[in-house]
Amino acid sequence: MSIEVNGFALQGLDRAEQKLERAAKRIAQSTMPPAGDSGDLNTSMVEVIEAVNLYKANANMVKAEDEMTKRVLNILA
């Protein structure tokens, strides 16, 4: 079970990294939009926030799995 949880979490971390890289590239390549037209930048910033949340969720999954493994080992020891 440990390997499955870590595998899912690592896949999620990878997706978060890819999402963040895409958003960062779009933000870096964008120029100042005309007044009142910041839709593309807004979309990119939302994607950055999603990537951060995805990263945190998957990092917490790894942490929870580690804590559960430690508790099981303590019970069995």
Residue 36 has pLDDT above 60, yes or no: no
Cβ distance 65 to 5 under 8 Å? Answer: yes
Supply the DSSP symbol for 33: P
Q: What is the pTM of this model?
A: 0.71
The dihedral region occupied by 36, where left means phi > 0, alpha psi between -120 and 50, and beta the remainder, is left
Residue 21 has pLDDT above 90, yes or no: yes
pLDDT in tens, 45-56: 899 999 999 999
Residue 65 has pLDDT above 60, yes or no: yes
What are the sequence ranges of the domains in the chain?
Answer: 2-76
The predicted pLDDT at position 8 comes to 86
The predicted pLDDT at position 3 comes to 64
User: Strand, coil or helix: what is 31?
Assistant: coil
Residue 40 CB coordination number (10 Å) = 13
Cβ distance 17 to 56 under 8 Å? Answer: no
The predicted pLDDT at position 51 comes to 93
- CA 48/CA 32 separation, integer angstroms: 19
